[in-house]
Structures are given as structure tokens and as C-alpha cells.
């Protein structure tokens, strides 16, 4: 019989953030993220440094999450952790810790798919309306760009995905060309708010069906900047807001074209976004406009559930707990896993 309430501790360590959350059923008692600033100076995540920082952060982060939740570890009913996809060294720190803790407390271990978690974060209960199955899930992060048909908590079909770079990568790589430190996506978003989105025109890639491509855009922006800097060395500084607004406008319109296409193809009018790029003001605003003008229901996560966090791992953990989907100590971390 399922205990009520069920307390679950969740661990997220797929990339460069160490996240730990404690849930009481489908509600969040604590959600702590230890950020790793060390990668900023390198312009991207260095895997070896990320796993070492996870090792240093995991024990204190678990401790803080339990204290904030007001729960003793002996009261926990299960430990959920990110199985993948992600960086192998980072995943191993979280999974080894989760296995040891579950074994020591003699409670079940639950393996969670990171991308399922980005979508199912919409089921964290904060009194809001939740999506009804089936709905369209759009994962937009530093590693993924997918449109999914979400049939149930555990059944998702990929309708389209990127054929090269992820949308977050496109943001971060173009941001690097503009001289921003990693991750530059939020900075492009910030400067875009003050600029003219039509100041510069970039061509959108022609990609079949519901798939995406972002690598051409990055190259196009690189040549555009090189040409203009040759004529005016201060081109970036003098036009920063307009450049950012034009890049943002192009990326958002690539995403919106495909989302519109997916709605038309499936006749599913509920769209839920997830992943780091779902924090972006441009995509949030474009989706809200569609909701006002068409018969759509749009689900946009709260800011703290957009970039990597353990609360989203915990909510999947909770539904897997109800379904008794437990892992044993032989479960392996997977840098790549299919949806
Ligand atoms: O989901 P996430 O935290 O990690 C992955 O699973 O990849 O996503 C991180 C990505 C980075 O590429 C970051 O630049 C991007 O999300 N990002 C943004 C914004 N906030 C985060 N991109 C554009 N606008 C934002 N406001
Ligand atoms: Zn993520």
C-alpha cells in the first residue's frame, strides 16, 4: 500500500548543476540547486570539472534540502535520481550517491529520464491547471530540441527533433561570438528586450516535417558578425540590443513554425514547454499570443522549474513510485537514452 504522505528525495546531476529536492506526494518541500560557476571562464561545461564539483556539492546539498524540507532521512520512502541523458561523470556521482543512500535506508531507488522530467514538471502541484493527456511536449534545452506527443506519464512519442545543434546550444554558441560568457542564452534574452527584432534579417533553415536544424544559423551569424566588424570594429557594442533581438526573433520563429505545424498535424491544442530555453521571454510571449488568438492551452513552467532542477526529477519519481517502477543497484547511468 502506498504510504500517504509519500516523501521522496530526488537528485539531479546530469550536467553542471547539483540539484536536490524533497517532495511530499506531488508537492515540493524543498528544491535546492548548487550552481557551478567554474565553467563560465571556459565558455562551456568541462565534464571532468563538473563531476568533481558534483562530488564536492552533493553531501551539503542533500543536507540543506532535507533541513529546508523539515524531514529526517529516516522518514523518506524512496530516492529518485537522473539516470540520463547527460554527462557520464556527472550522472555517475548522482547515481552512486542515490544507490548508496537508498541501500543504507533500505528504501526503493527510482531511475528517472531527464527529458521526461522537463516535461512532467508541469505536474508538480501548486494548485495550477495541469495538462491533460495527450498533449504536445516541447523540450528546449542545452542538449535537446524535441516535439513530443505525451500520451501518459510514461509513454512519449518523438514527432520531431533537431538534426544537429540543440536550440540552447544555438543560443550559447552565438552568445560566445558576441563575447558573452557561458551560458549566454539568458544574456541574449536580456539584451533582446531592448532591441529591434527586425533590425537584421537571418534566414531560417528549411527542414522537413517537424525536425529542426540550428547549426546553419550559428554559421550565418558568425559570417554576419565578421563582415560587419571588418567595416566597423565597434559593430557589436554599438548594435548589441538589435543583434540580440534579431537572433531571438529568428530562433523563436523557427520554434513557433514547427509548434504550429505540430498542432495542425496532430489536432492537439495543448502545448507544454520544458527545459532551460523555456525560461526565454521571447518563446513564452509568442506562446501566450497563440493562446490568446487561437484555441490553444499553453503550459509554461515556473522559472525555477525551467533550467535543471531536482524537483522535476522528484515528480517523475513520485508517479513511478505510485506505479511501483523501482530500479535495483545494478541500474546503469546512460549518457544517451531514447525518449
Ligand atoms: O535544461 P538546461 O538547464 O540544461 C540542459 O538539460 O541542457 O538548459 C540549459 C540551456 C542553456 O543552453 C542556456 O543558455 C539556456 O538553457 N537558457 C536560455 C535561457 N535560460 C537558459 N536560453 C535562452 N533564453 C533564456 N532565458
Ligand atoms: Zn535539462
**How far, in Å, CA of 278 to CA of 324, rounded?**
31
- As a whole number of angstroms, the distance between CA 171 and CA 282 comes to 13
Q: Given this model, what pLDDT does residue 45 score?
A: 87
| Cis before 2? omega within 30 | no
In this structure, the residues whose C-beta lies within 6 A of any atom of ligand 1 are 15, 141-143, 168, 171-172, 183, 185-186, 189, 275-277, 279-280, 307-308
- The total of other beta-carbon atoms located within 10 Å of residue 231's CB is 7
Closest ligand 1 atom number to CA of residue 175: 14
pLDDT of residue 302: 95
Question: Can you tell me the distance from the alpha carbon of 230 to that of 195, in angstroms, rounded to the nearest whole number?
Answer: 22
Closest-CA residue, ligand 1 atom 8, reads 276
Decide if 199 contacts 242 (C-beta within 8 A): yes
SS3 40: helix
- Cα dihedral sign, 79-80-85-87: negative
- In Å, how far are 29, 58, 125, 159, 172 from 24, measured between CA atoms? 7, 21, 10, 33, 36
User: For the chain, which residues score pLDDT lower than 70?
Assistant: none
Residue 279 Cα: closest atom of ligand 1: 26
Instruction: From the CA of 166, give the closest atom in ligand 1.
Output: 12
Supply the pLDDT for residue 22: 98
Amino acid at each position: 500500500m502506498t504510504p500517504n504522505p509519500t516523501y521522496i528525495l530526488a537528485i539531479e546531476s546530469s550536467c553542471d548543476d547539483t540539484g536536490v529536492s524533497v517532495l511530499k506526494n506531488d508537492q515540493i518541500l524543498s528544491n535546492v540547486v548548487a550552481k557551478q560557476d567554474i565553467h563560465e571562464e571556459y565558455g562551456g561545461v568541462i565534464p571532468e570539472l563538473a563531476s568533481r564539483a558534483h562530488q564536492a556539492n552533493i553531501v551539503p546539498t542533500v543536507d540543506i534540502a532535507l533541513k529546508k524540507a523539515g524531514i529526517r532521512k529516516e522518514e523518506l520512502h524512496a530516492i529518485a535520481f537522473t539516470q540520463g541523458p547527460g554527462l557520464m561523470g556527472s550522472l555517475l556521482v548522482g547515481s552512486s550517491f542515490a544507490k548508496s543512500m537508498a541501500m543504507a535506508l533500505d528504501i526503493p531507488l527510482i531511475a528517472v529520464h531527464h527529458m521526461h522530467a522537463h516535461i512532467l514538471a508541469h505536474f508538480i502541484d501548486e494548485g495550477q491547471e495541469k495538462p491533460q493527456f495527450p498533449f504536445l511536449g516541447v523540450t528546449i534545452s542545452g542538449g535537446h530540441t524535441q516535439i513530443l506527443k505525451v500520451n501518459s506519464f510514461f509513454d512519449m512519442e518523438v514527432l520531431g527533433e533537431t538534426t544537429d545543434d540543440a536550440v540552447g546550444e544555438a543560443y550559447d554558441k552565438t552568445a560566445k561570438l558576441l563575447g558573452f560568457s557561458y551560458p549566454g542564452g539568458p544574456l541574449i534574452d536580456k539584451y533582446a528586450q531592448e532591441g529591434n527584432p527586425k533590425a537584421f534579417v537571418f534566414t531560417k533553415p528549411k527542414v522537413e516535417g517537424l525536425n529542426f536544424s540550428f547549426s546553419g544559423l550559428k554559421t550565418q551569424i558568425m559570417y554576419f558578425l565578421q563582415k560587419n566588424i571588418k567595416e566597423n570594429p565597434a559593430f557589436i557594442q554599438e548594435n548589441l540590443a538589435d543583434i540580440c533581438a534579431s537572433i531571438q526573433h529568428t530562433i523563436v520563429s523557427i520554434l513557433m513554425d514547427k509548434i504550429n505545424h505540430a498542432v495542425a498535424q496532430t489536432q492537439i491544442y495543448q502545448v507544454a514547454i520544458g527545459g532551460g530555453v523555456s525560461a526565454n521571454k521571447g518563446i513564452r510571449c509568442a506562446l501566450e499570443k497563440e493562446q490568446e488568438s487561437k484555441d490553444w492551452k499553453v503550459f509554461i513552467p515556473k522559472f525555477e522549474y525551467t533550467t535543471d532542477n531536482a524537483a522535476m526529477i522528484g515528480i517523475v519519481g513520485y508517479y513511478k513510485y505510485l506505479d511501483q517502477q523501482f530500479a535495483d543497484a545494478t541500474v546503469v547511468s546512460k549518457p544517451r537514452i531514447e525518449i
